[in-house]
A and B are shown apart, each in its own frame.
Chain A
Amino acid sequence: MTRKSYISVVSIFLVCALLPFVLRRYQLNMLTEIIIFALYAVSYNILLGYAGLLSFGHAMFFGLGAFTAAISIIHISHLSVWSCLLIAMGATTIVGFAIGSLLLRLKGAYFALLTLAFNSLFYAVATKWHSVTGGDDGLSIKRPVVNLGFTLLKINTVTAFYYLTFVIIGLVIVFCWYFTHTAMGQTVVLMRENEDRMKFLGYDTSLSRLILFTFTGAIAGLAGAFYTLHFQFVSVSAISLDMATAVLLITFVGGTGTFWGPILGSFVYIILQNYLSDITDRWPLFMGFIFILMVLFIPGGLSKMILTAKGYLFERQEMGKAMEGENS
């Protein structure tokens, strides 16, 4: 990481910390949602952008995390936020490992198809298991109190919850970034490029892929838990196919080539969704057209566009560097 990117990360943190003083309530709410979906998309991008695994089933982890959080808050009295988040991540880790060891036997389009089928299975179970998940009615919860050790923090105000979300998810996103730079994260990228060679070099590629799949599942589960806490409500839509494809849209619009692309995508997607749905009921149609146009003309997403534009505006050399660093 260069000094420049340290500065930009620190300044983003500072700006986000000051934003509650500037923004209005609904804007702050929207920003919280953006941060949650950014984490969801970052975890998805590690799967799609880094490992090259196209999944139509990421919502099963997001939804599982969301439902686990809601169910644990309802059934365990005086549950702290920390345990709630840990339970959600634990559940998604276990399920991710089990599902992953089954699904990762196949690759490419086959894998994509299977993730879709399993997501449908989870959706079917969530809809039918009315006594636990509330079925179509969903579950309502109250946000628990946060125990900071020295003091209790109430997170029922928009601002307090924003700070909690932004600090924890911010740290987790930084951790994800760190993860992509570890030997493990790099192995996955190299596997995407040439798996045979990695096998030949003695790497257990199936195991690496399984660990990665489980990791991204757990992170998506955490995002799901925050989703429940944010809306104080969870319904089967959290585990639906629409939720699984939304993250694909977000990631693709932001660009899969960079780590920060999906975060940008989350900003664009949530803000577009909010404003387009104010103007027209047909906003999904617009999103669909935007998506198709991007697939046809800007397959690298917005982040690629920005990098290219930067290259034209500044020096040619810098573009070369940016392209090199794209996947690192």
Chain B
Amino acid sequence: MSNILVFFLHGLAYAGLLFLVSSGLTLVFGMMNVLNFAHAALYMLGAYFSYTVLNTTGQFWLSLIVCPLALFIIGAFIERFLLRRVHIFGHLHELLLTFGLAYIITETVKWLWGNYPLAVNIGGYLDGTIELFGLAYPIYRIFIFVWGVLVSLAMALILFKTRLGIILRAAVNDNEMVNALGINVPLLFTGVFAFGAALSGFAGVIAGPLLSTYPGMAQEILVDAFVVIVVGGFGSLGGALIASLLIGELQSFGVLLFPKLSLVLIYLLMSIVLVIKPSGLFGEKQ
């Protein structure tokens, strides 16, 4: 029984992380119609920045603020000076550009930090365990899940309760019309892309202590995040939330129940969803 609880909590932690990564991805996709292949590379960059910040200052909370900010600036730069240039050539070129960026970022990371895993120690009370139903559980995993919940609540609040949210949702539907109504859509795009980058950087900082920091971490989470988006429905935040929980738990219990098949399980889920509903659980029909 306690075993099941532990795996359930593990699944929640991974779901929290998955949501942090895939929400930014799905937001950018929904708004700009750009499938950002560099998203996971930015996430990795966040993890490496955090490693460096932790090594020099030892302040985890500091890196939780500084690294997303750095990624925000990088994201804004990418959108303003690179993506916008190829926008006229169509989606294929935007996709290829982000793919090239992912390639360069991965290679740069290997070059600067080395092609091996780096252990990240946060220290302090976050490193400890907590009594939960009579068993000691690492606080950090709960911390991750809490962040996932907080971010999803904050995004829901912004999207549905503020003026900015109304503009964003309108732009998802028809950005040309929104532009015609006098809203600076190009600026909005830069903001959204930068926010997505910051979110992925934030996820990277959080992932570092859990999964350790290594050059393959981008590709690993990228595929999982893509599966989340496919299952949840393209561009749907609610779908991303549900799919994150589903995939997180499936990963976790897959290891417990079918250790050999655990890797294949999520693809199986994806294939089933695709056969039944090609647009994903909460996706609109294309």
Contact = CB atoms under 8 A, between A and B. Distances in A.
Contact of B93 (A121, A285, A295): A295
B96 interface: yes
A67 to B, nearest CB: 17
Interface string B30-55: 00010100000000000000000000
Contact of A117 (B33, B100, B227): B227
B121 interface: no
Contacts of A128: 260, 263-264
A289 B104 contact: yes
Contacts of B271: 102
Interface string A242-263: 0001001000100000000000
Nearest to A282: B111
Interface in B192-243: 219, 223, 226-227, 229-230, 234
A120 B267 contact: yes
B260 A284 contact: no
A184 interface: no
Contacts of A117: 223, 226-227, 230, 267, 270
A110 B111 contact: no
A160 interface: no
Per DSSP, are chain A's interface residues mostly helix, strand or loop, or mixed? helix
A23 interface: no
Given A117-B230, A241-B219, A292 B274 contact: no
Interface string B90-110: 011101110111011001100
Nearest to A54: B92
Per DSSP, are chain B's interface residues mostly helix, strand or loop, or mixed? helix
B97 to A, nearest CB: 5
Nearest to A289: B104
B89 interface: yes
Contacts of A252: 96
A296 interface: yes
Nearest to A118: B267
A102 B274 contact: yes
A125 B100 contact: no
A285 B106 CA distance: 9
Contacts of B29: 109
A294 to B, nearest CB: 9
A121 B226 CA distance: 13
Contacts of B219: 241
Contacts of B223: 116-117, 120
Given A245-B99, A285-B111, A299-B86, 10 more contacts: A106-B274, A106-B286, A112-B35, A128-B260, A128-B263, A128-B264, A282-B107, A285-B108, A292-B82, A292-B104
Interface of A: 52, 54, 102, 105-110, 112-114, 116-118, 120-121, 124-125, 127-128, 241, 245, 248, 252, 282, 284-285, 287-289, 291-292, 295-296, 299
- What 7 A-B pairs have minimum CB-CB distances, sorted nearest first? A288-B104, A285-B107, A288-B103, A121-B267, A124-B263, A109-B35, A292-B100
23 contacts: A54-B96, A102-B275, A105-B278, A107-B286, A109-B95, A110-B234, A112-B95, A113-B35, A113-B229, A114-B274, A116-B226, A120-B267, A128-B263, A241-B219, A252-B96, A284-B103, A284-B107, A285-B111, A287-B103, A289-B104, A291-B103, A295-B97, A299-B89
Interface of B: 29, 33, 35, 82, 85-86, 89, 91-93, 95-97, 99-101, 103-104, 107-108, 111, 219, 223, 226-227, 229-230, 234, 260, 263-264, 267, 270-271, 274-275, 278, 286
